[in-house]
Structure 1
Amino acid sequence: NLRKGDFYCVGCGRCIDFCPAGIDIVDAISGVR
């Protein structure tokens, strides 16, 4: 479940705090990178 402040990594396809690969991390609510 996505909550405000959570980040979703499009590359990994899951919610994470930080994407080591640095690919397409978007804000779960605003959709801004």
Structure 2
Amino acid sequence: MIDGKVMVTGGAGYIGSHAVLALLDAGYEV
């Protein structure tokens, strides 16, 4: 079951930082 938590590795890079922002906007806990 999905609980809305996501762990992102490489969040300081270009793609990772945009992915983190998109996940936060979608309501996920990152």
The bucket for the TM-score relative to the shorter chain is under 0.3
Higher helix proportion: 2
Structure with larger Rg = 2
Higher strand proportion: 1
Give the structure-2-normalised TM-score. Answer: 0.20
Give the structure-1-normalised TM-score. Answer: 0.21
Kindly indicate whether structure 1 or structure 2 has the higher relative contact order, using CA contacts under 8 Å at least 6 residues apart.
2
